[in-house]
Amino acid sequence: HGILLHYPGQHMLRLKQSHNPHNLLSKPKKDCVATEKPRAHVYMPPELLVPVEVPIGVLKSFYLLPSLMHRLESLMLAIQLREEISCGLDNCSRSSSL
């Protein structure tokens, strides 16, 4: 990657994924059996790591963003479609979440 290490002989740190990514806006189906995926590990030299002074609760809330953005996009598309279907009619009784 074109990175020049200051200490090329240093030991590598074995890092694991901090969370299990999934869609947080939908409930898992009851008939689906959750299969445990093997955790992938990455090896990094310690000098490339940067400490982040963010509480773990805040960090975990960032995991909601992809699901939240997908839901907002779906609702916006539903509103646009409802406006196109109504063709200017004032009586639009269907909600965007439908």
Tell me the sheet residues that pair with 14.
Answer: 43
- For the chain, which residues score pLDDT lower than 50? none
For 19-76, what is the HEC assignment?
CCCCCCCCCCCCCCCCCCCCCCEEEECHHHCCCCCCCHHHHHHHHHHHHHHHHHHHHH
Give the model's pLDDT for residue 20.
64
Tell me the sheet residues that pair with 13.
Answer: 44
At 15, list the tokens: 């890092």
Is the pTM higher than 0.85? The answer reads no
